[in-house]
Chains A and B, each alone.
Chain A
Amino acid sequence: MTRILGIESSCDETAAAVVDDRHHVRSSVIASQVDVHRAFGGVVPELAARQHVEAIGPVVRAALDEADAGFDSLDAVAVTQGPGLIGSLLVGVCAAKAIAWRHELPLLAVNHLEGHIRSAFIDHPEIEFPALALIVSGGHTSLYLCPEESDYRVIARTRDDAAGEAFDKVAKLLGLGYPGGPVIEKLARGADASSHAFPHAQMKDGSLDFSFSGLKTAVRRLATERGLAHHEPTGGDVSDEVRDLVAAFQRAVVRVLVRRSLAACKRERVKSLLLTGGVACNKSLRDAFAHACDRAGVTLYAAAPRYTTDNAAMIAAAAFLHYEKGAFAPLDINAHSNFPL
């Protein structure tokens, strides 16, 4: 048996997990900072870093305790090296190095995006290659072609906002609170998504890249015209007009994600599609993907909702690929805010 301790601190969640043999998650502990950032309507980097410093020790301790694992039972320590917020990343990287150093364990430096892709394998170890992976979160909206294990080729990315960022910004401008994804998903339930027809950004060069800033601007224009823009959380009940608006917005985001992903599957002749990242816990997105994949003869592997948002189980899971190849990181690595996969 191989056991890896994973640590993740790239944005606003301090997380640690113990994973055995690639996908047996023994524990996955996440200290969320959402209450800290809610008042600001988004993640504040300096506040995030400060929270990680306080949380890292107790979170790692809790992950080990929950897994009933001592340091002497570990085979390696894995950590997110990037991309992410530098002050946040550094806390996890330094703590992971300290643990690896003290117990003379291999250190495994993991790309956060590889972690997201491997999150789908935790519940679906049988995924066949070649596969296509959509990572859709507050910081990323990218499509990766994976011809085989450990081979990641980006074939589309967002040219402006990430999809999750668009959810946050729309929720903010309508005064609906933070984070925007869950709020909008809840309000859109049962509302009339066909009330507004929002434009889908198509790339002139025929690429499959995403763009969400035009959609966000269209929502803002409409909200301003109708006096729906608030910028401060309104609290209380939300009108049907706003619910219809966010339902239409959500549908527009879902549609473009589904269409682009399936177009990519067709172009690359791929029959396995991985749905990962924080926005992938959105139920209407999951349902739309399931429906479209079914029709297209593509097998959908959606990450379990608990592994869609940032977590350390996915980092440990991804780290197994490095461990098996003996790709150990030296103790002089630094964190990298910009760290392409």
Chain B
Amino acid sequence: MLLAGSIDVISGSLECEPDGYGTACGRSCEGAADPRHAGGEGGTRSLCLPLMCGIAGSTEDPEGRKVRGMCATMHHRGPDDEGIYSDAASGVSIGMRRLSIMDVEGGHQPLYNEDGSLAVVCNGEIYNHPQLREDLLARGHRFATSSDTEVLVHLYEEYGEELVHALDGMFAFALWDEPRGRLLLARDRFGEKPMFLHERGGELAFASELTALVAVTPGLRELDPVAIDAFFVFAYVPGPGTIVPGVRQLAPGHLLSWERADPRSRERPWWTAGADGLVPQERFESVLAEARRLFDESVRRRMISDVPLGVFLSGGVDSTLVSIAAAKQSSKRLQTFTVGYDVGSVSETAQARRTASYLDSEHHEVTLTQQMVAERAPALLAGLDQPLADRALLPLNVLSEFARPRVTVALGGEGADELFGGYPRYRWLARSRRAESALPAGAARPLGALLRGGAARVGRGERAARRLAPAPLLERNLDWVTSERRGARAALYGPRMAGVGEGRVVADLAARAGGHRGEPTVRWLMHLDQIDYLPDDVLFKTDRAGMLASLEIRTVFLNRELADFAASLDTSVHLAGGGKAIVRAMLPDGVINTSALGRYRKTAFRVPAAEWLRGPLAGALDRQLERGVIYGEGYFDREAARALVREHRSGERDHSELLWPMLALGLWADRFHGLDDG
């Protein structure tokens, strides 16, 4: 029950502080050719996108000029800090751009070991660094700074490349081993921090941002139709490729080593997701006790003493659990934030208030108005490294900006659904597989076809039929997550997309997942989401949304011991009850109104996209249809798009599932197209 007056609900709009980093602050860049520049059409403000911490490096850059150029694209006016190390003899330079306002526990980088033979730049945080430092000090290492990153060079002295196995954190780092002439790049296991690579003519270049690589490398101006196809189907660009041919990502959980003596890049995984189903026979109480221990330890490591913490409350179990654990361990009053809208029917604010009351947190509600959408969305979507059509990007960014003046760090619940079986489709698909196995052999496929055909004829229930009727599990999973986009492609694509095979996107996905023996299981789907959706949509979104506001978002569920533990449990343990059984069991009773939760299908950050496309973003859509490069260059068919927009605008149909990705891609492509070539 909500106790009136017991929580401090602060409603507000975003302020534009004199030295803040808001996208609404209207700073101008050095002209439209500045890669940080976005927007400015149709009377909207042009914005200079602030950026983030980033690392960069090249093996053909003896004076660091190229790296300086890459760091400059990650530049924003304001207090910041740049450091570049160049080994002129080998031609290798590595550099880091860090915003001082982001100085959580870090220091100036690059960082070095005792004799200066190793240099490292790292984007991210090593959460277990206090314990690591203690162990290393006991072994005789000497530290020059209090930065968490410094443990990396000392761990390398002990373990070489295997140092990644000592880390609990989110990281993408580059380490230069001068005596051996070896460059080591590493990315964290889930892909929380980005790393883009480009190789040409024996040179290896890397950067935290695709835009940085593109800005300093001539000739990287093409777009890959296969990647565009995948983007349109999935609403994100799946790794390890990118939308720019020639640029790829260092895959999550991978290492890359490069040696001056043998200058070829060698990539290998240091961790791979397991796809096997496991059936331990433990008592649920001891499973739960272990989960709690690991979860609390993860929160403890991610907190900083004596500094207020923020949590974004969505009303769902993940953020609620995170906030309860944080409040328990924090000596300061927790700051909680929720976003609301002025249009549409989605609201998380009621449950969030209940949780805030329970926590006695300082609770803030931010309204993301249509006005704000009109002002911010185009620049935000255009300015990303790669297009992203996850609609939660905008509310998450707004929350981050609102939180930033009040907290340095926010704790996030990302990853819980993938690791702990939270998505409803896992349960549905598991159930239908069980039902299917009860059918007589050979009846399943024809029955499936019959059901789908029947639904098509009747004109209703097609969605349900496609999802539940017997068919290969991957197909059904895809249908579920990609809505009708797969089928709509043919009508919407232009001639530039002709070369992309229809089945390519599915084949690529199955290949990335490493295939499976026999029929795939729901476990395999969870594994697939972990290696694909999680890094390239969820974590990409979280990283950018937060970093654009200079707020560091620390995920709690992606702690490696907790993730290992989740992986050791059978799917049936996770999917029991309403799904995500372990997470729910860790919640105290009564905090979440479970009857509401029952009706509450996964709606965290569900946004009124349909309304926005009819209202505040109508102008952007129209401008796109008129002048957008994706139509001009023949990727999409202008007339088909126009018809969609008309239907959507008339209220006859809701085409937001199709229009949002097209808008996101179009805005992004226009900015990309407008960049100077090298």
Q: Do A and B bind each other?
A: no
Chain B positions within 8 Å of A, measured between CB atoms, are none
Chain A positions within 8 Å of B, measured between CB atoms, are none
